[in-house]
Amino acid sequence: MDAVDMYQEIEMLQQEPNLSGKQLERMKELQSKLNYKRMNQDKVNRLLAKGQDMRQSEILMLLEANVRKNQISEALGMDYYEFREYLRNIGVKITPRKRR
């Protein structure tokens, strides 16, 4: 199973309304195999270059790798607020901005 297959399986699992314990374990196993936290800059750039063709799982992977939301939104051709709304719609928790 290559990385693309793993991403696709993770995306399918994320679309399930209620994951069973076995499905949740499978998703965690796939995520650890892909090593989400250790994404190199070249891989980040390749994903961002996909623009509007990025999959939901790839967007989530970029967020997990701490890529800035404004970088992802620009790559998708969305303004920042549209992107935040998109994230809310797919179930990503958005924290309010800190005021100085």
Query: What does the pLDDT look like over 29-70, one tens digit per residue?
Result: 888 777 654 667 888 899 999 999 999 989 988 988 888 999
Whether residues 75 and 97 fall in one domain: yes
Number of domains in the chain: 2
Residue 14 has pLDDT above 80, yes or no: yes
Whether residues 24 and 71 fall in one domain: no
Residue indicated by tokens 């891989």: 43
CA neighbor of 60 nearest in space, from 77, 26, 37, 78: 37
Whether residues 14 and 45 fall in one domain: no
The pTM of the full predicted model, rounded to 2 decimals, is 0.59
Whether residues 93 and 68 fall in one domain: yes
From residue 1, alpha-carbon distances to 8, 15, 30, 33, 59 in Å are 11, 20, 10, 11, 21
